[in-house]
Amino acid sequence: MRPLMLQGHERSITQIKYNREGDLLFSCSKDQKPNVWYSLNGERLGTYDGHQGAVWCLDVDWESRKLITGAGDMTTKLWDVEYGTIIASIPTKSSVRTSHFSFSGNQAAYSTDKAMGQSCELFLIDVRNADSSLSEQEPTLRIPMTESKITSMLWGPLDETIITGHDNGNIAIWDIRKGQKVVDSGSDHTGGINDMQLSKDGTMFVTASKDTTAKLFDSESLMCLKTYKTERPVNSAAISPILDHVVLGGGQDAMEVTTTSTKAGKFDSRFFHLIYEEEFARLKGHFGPINSLAFHPDGKSYASGGEDGFVRVQTFDSTYFENIFE
């Protein structure tokens, strides 16, 4: 199958995400306008206009009713997915790096950067009956991060915990009832963690790090189960919902891109076997590093967003499903 090229962004993609059914694909980039697309044919449904800075993160809730975005204009915004209107805009003291709905969609968490004299903080808000008054309300929980800033985040099982990945390579689990750290991974990664994505059942997650590896962790004990090694920083990694496959995307830092040709194979999506840690396939396509990856919930296609501003949706051929490891 030829990939779908989704051209709707003027600057590099920062994150892409499918909704639960997989019929919609959300993308955000440094050009201030998150987009929503039909994942089947790559048609753009619309944009969410309102941010004044680069949009770093987005997430869509369980029912595809609400969208949360965090941006460099020092706001987190809640949107109505269907109408593209802003439900609430929450001001922060520095730019918002990560934002996530809980599995139930009742709560959302977001984290701010350590910048302009502000420390990195993790915030929790209740979004059950969100309206414009949310911008004046205090967050339900606020945890300051003293050591290293949060660069990626996930909700743990049953919405009781939050897993955070940090700039120094640490991973921690926070109990949101007590508001304190319950598990610390120590230093499995030596570089900052760019991305974390859960497996379909939520029992494990994969991390992508600047230290050129991706690792598979148990989501309750933070035990490192597997390591996938590459030669360059990994910006994003995702676990297939149906097969024992992991896809890794990355490339060198954006500032070094001009000195390498696309033929050098730096901008490929790389497929590894989840258990055997062996690379078995590569897919070319982007003209710059891949910043974000996502598997379609049915596991039959995946999407990648790159520094070149394109989102590519690649449907797998039948040979992909017949590939049996000996």
Question: Using CA atoms, how far apart are residues 317 and 2, in angstroms rounded to an integer?
Answer: 10
Give the mean pLDDT of 127-142.
Answer: 89
pLDDT band at 255 (very low <50, low <70, confident <90, very high): low
In this structure, how many other beta carbons lie within 10 angstroms of the beta carbon of residue 314?
Answer: 18
DSSP assignment, residue 4?
A: E
* Structural domains of the chain, count: 1
Could you tell me the maximum CA-CA distance found in the chain, to the nearest angstrom?
Answer: 59
Query: Which own/partner pairs from 80-84 qualify as long-range (CB within 8 Å, at least 24 positions apart)?
Result: 81/24, 81/36, 84/46, 84/47, 84/48, 84/49
Q: Which pLDDT tens digit goes with each residue over 181-219?
A: 999 887 789 999 999 999 999 999 999 999 999 999 999
Residues 6+ apart with CB under 8 A from 175: 160, 161, 181, 182
Q: What is the reported pTM?
A: 0.93
Q: Residue 88's domain is classified under what CATH number? A: 2.130.10.10
- 4 closest CA partner among 21, 20, 25, 19: 25
pLDDT tens digits, 50-102: 999 999 999 999 999 999 999 999 999 999 999 999 999 999 999 999 999 99
Q: Which residues constitute the domain of residue 266?
A: 4-323
Give the whole-angstrom CA distance, residue 149 versus residue 169. 10
Neighbours of 124 (CB within 10 A): 18
Half-sphere exposure of residue 213: CA atoms within 13 angstroms, side-chain side: 16
Query: The dihedral of CA 204, 12, 124, 187: what is its sign?
Result: positive
Residue 29, token pair as written in the block: 């980039």
Give the pair of three-digit tokens for residue 215.
């690792």
Nearest to 150 by CA among 187, 114, 124, 109: 114
How far apart CA 101 and CA 209 sit, in angstroms, is 23
136 burial type by CB count under 10 A (0-12 exposed, 13-18 middle, 19+ buried):
exposed
